[in-house]
Each structure stands twice: as structure tokens, then as C-alpha cells.
Amino acid sequence: SHREPLNAIEEMTGAKCWVRGQHFLDERKMPEGARKLYVEISGPTAVAVQRAKYEVKKMMEALAIRTLNIPGLSNAIKGKPGRYDPATGM
């Protein structure tokens, strides 16, 4: 499910992660008071939050590389689309 990568990050760091807000194709058509899509992170310590933030960013970058299908990247870097393993960062 879509929660699996976030659950893995939560187990690794001790911080809770939630996907909040909404995705809008056109920001100009965003309703008044609506919030853009973001990840909310809260944890027992600032270090746990920083570590979770780093892992979420790493996960998003790895996913972007795989899904954007950038030419010149090896299959080892691209991996399977839509899957992220926080243990390996890929």
C-alpha cells in the first residue's frame, strides 16, 4: 500500500509521517484555504524528525528518478517503479 514506505521510515526513525493536503494540477485553480500536498512529520526528538525528513526526501528523489525514466541511468539505479526500500534508499 502507499503507507508501507512511510511505515518503514517511522520504524527506522521513531517519527510519525502523514501525507496531508491536496494535489492540484493548476495552482491558480486552488480553492481558497486549500493546502498543497505535503508530508507532516512529528517525533519524540528533533533528531528523529530530521532523520525522518531526510529519509522522506531520499525516498521521493529515488521515486522521481525511477518514474521520470531519465535516459542513461542503469537498471540498478532505476529499480522497480513505485517501490522504495528505506533500508537501501532505493
pLDDT at 56: 94
pLDDT at 31: 87
Rg (CA), the chain: 15
What SS3 state is found at 49? helix
Q: Is the pLDDT of residue 77 over 60?
A: no
Q: What is the pLDDT of residues 47-58, one digit of tens each?
A: 999 999 999 999
In degrees and rounded to multiples of 5, residue 16 shows phi and psi of -90, 140
Q: What is the pLDDT of residues 18-56, one digit of tens each?
A: 999 988 888 888 888 889 889 999 999 999 999 999 999
pLDDT at 24: 86
In degrees and rounded to multiples of 5, residue 14 shows phi and psi of 85, 0
In contact, 17 and 39? CB cutoff 8 Å: yes
